[in-house]
Amino acid sequence: MSQLPRFWNLGWSSFLDWWSNSPVVSEQESSPLYGQQQLNETFLDHGEGQQFLTKAFQVILEEVLCKGTDVKEKVCDWREPEDLAALLDLELRENGESQHQLLKRVQDVAKYSVKTNHPRFFNQLFAGVDYHALAGRFLTEALNTSQYTYEVAPVFVLMEEEVLSKLRSLVGWTHGDGIFCPGGTVSNMYAMNLARFRAFPEVKVKGQWALPRLAVFASQEVCHYSVMKAAAFQGIGTENVFKVNVDDRGCMNPEDLCEKIELAKSQGAVPFFVHATSGTTVKGAFDPLESIADICERLGLWMHVDAAWGGSVLLSNEHRHLMKGVERADSVTWNPHKMMLTGLQCSAILLKDTTDLLKHCHCADATYLFQQDKFYDKSLDTGDKSIQCGRKVDCLKLWLMWKAVGSKGLEGRVDRAFAHVRYLVEEMKRREGFQLIWEPEFVNVCFWFIPPSLRGDENSPDYQDRLSKVAPTIKERMMKQGTMMVGYQPHGGRVNFFRMIVISPQVSHEDMTFFLDEIERLGKDL
């Protein structure tokens, strides 16, 4: 096995040895039969299961955490869908397989999966690995509890509130509420639902029949598509999402917001919710929160800030100014699984509200879970704040990582990402063929690569069509060769361009240089 990450050398090998060599205790006495099954014996062999788990962990360590973080290894081992399906042998059969065969399955899954922990994975708004957070993820899975009552999740009920309180304090609130949700889309849906309930509490009982036509406001093109999903899912309707113009940087125009609010009113709609963004998905733009807050306060509208991507700038004294005014919002979405590296998934909806609005909006008072005569403080049963029943524990990985590196360590990660972006942009400007689409405000670097054959042909009638094919071709080549991954997209009338995301603390200036060299190598003949 190649050298393990330092985290795993702190007693982990000894633990694996102990686990592998633990004696297996089994029943020796004969047991009565019920049909073909001995009901007095355990159905699962813990010793065999633990041996398998130990060996599976060794495969995970080698394939995912050693090879998967090694720049000499591939980011992905690309296979066409039909070939991959055959390699994995996905069919589920009547009889089970041997441990040896199952371990081969584990190895194949690891081998042919994309290595998002790799230093040259730049494709998404998440990347890299934090080993303390990963330990929290392993422990979460092993404990396998649901975060709805204190009786089944006492540690995590207390832990979740502590973590949420810390996140709220970074927003600027001394009090408030919140909950971890399964992703930023659901967190944004919570905000819209809470805003509607605050404005029209009768909706919970009477439904949409009791409401007027409602109006939502979000940025044109650059807001997250979850706004449209939320409007559709909650019966508000996508035609009632009024799109607000943005400036050249992709930031919401407050003057146009006022005009769109008046337009909605003139059409008989009732404005109730403004969706601002801190860190848009493509451009990384930050809306002017102070100006938007002025409008929302004057008109009595709920102001939500979708900071799923950009919220982590609040950890940095140098960069938190990008979210100036966020404390004036009613709610904030923040995804620590993105820039904070907790691992998927970890998303919080944070609220300024102190009236228990979250619970009033979502509670169903299920008596089999939330009995009113419990022997402990029933306010610790937080499950009725959620639209879910069973809810995964998402706080442990964040809490353990924060304990390990502290707020200062997290701040350093944010500042390091910005420093890498500055270096990358400077290098791009020195090289022929790299054309920045705009100066990055955040850690999203958007650019075209202009191959030699297109340079100087900007006025040709087919230039845009030819340019649009460059990014998809380079992306195909890099994936089939496994050298790196970076995303591309068309946006706002612009043909396909690359969106480079820099967040992993594992990356170095050497990786930034490699990225530029590789784009040139893969695209020089186009």
Query: Region 82-91: what's the mean pLDDT?
Result: 96
- The per-residue pLDDT for range 356-406, each reduced to its tens digit, is 999 999 988 888 787 888 888 888 888 889 999 899 999 999 999 999 999
Q: What is the pLDDT of residues 109-143, one digit of tens each?
A: 999 999 999 999 999 989 999 999 999 999 999 99
**DSSP one-letter string for 297-345:** HHHT-EEEEEETTTGGGGG-TTTGGGGTTGGGSSEEEE-TTSTT---S-
**Cα atoms found within 13 Å of the Cα of residue 357, Cβ hemisphere only:** 24
Query: CB–CB of 177/353 below 8 Å?
Result: yes
pLDDT at 347: 96
pLDDT bucket at 25, cuts 50 / 70 / 90: very low
Residues sharing a CB contact under 8 Å with residue 362, sequence separation 6 or more, in sequence order: 193, 384, 385, 386, 387
Residue 282 CA, chain-centre distance (Å), reads 15
Question: pLDDT digit string (tens) for 299-320?
Answer: 999 999 999 999 999 999 999 9
Q: What is the pLDDT of residues 438-464, one digit of tens each?
A: 999 999 999 999 999 999 888 899 999
Average pLDDT score over the chain = 91
Radius of gyration of the chain measured on its C-alpha atoms: 26
Q: How many of the other CB atoms lie within 10 Å of CB of 175? A: 11
Residue range 236-248: average pLDDT? 94
pLDDT of res. 14: 55
**464-473 per-position pLDDT tens digit:** 999 999 999 9
Give mean pLDDT, residues 219-229: 83
The pLDDT score that the predictor gives to residue 350 is 98
Residue 55 in tokens? 């060996």
Question: Are the beta carbons of 276 and 303 closer than 8 angstroms?
Answer: yes
Q: What is the pLDDT of residue 29?
A: 47
CA pair distance 496, 52, nearest whole angstrom: 46
Minimum mean pLDDT range among 22-36, 147-161, 181-195? 22-36
Give the pLDDT of residue 17.
Answer: 58
Proportion of the chain above pLDDT 70, given as a percent: 92
Could you say which DSSP state residue 35 is in?
T
Taking residues 508-526, report their average pLDDT. 94
* pTM for the model: 0.90
Region 156-171: what's the mean pLDDT?
Answer: 97
Return the pLDDT at 2: 46
Please give the pLDDT value at position 9.
Answer: 47
- Give the C-alpha distances (Å, rounded to integers) separating 107 from 56, 65, 74, 75, 458: 8, 13, 15, 16, 48
Residue 5 confidence (pLDDT) above 80: no
Sequence-distant contacts of 517-520: CB under 8 A, at least 24 apart: 518/478, 518/483, 518/484, 519/434, 519/449, 519/474, 520/431, 520/433, 520/449
Residue 371: the pLDDT is 83
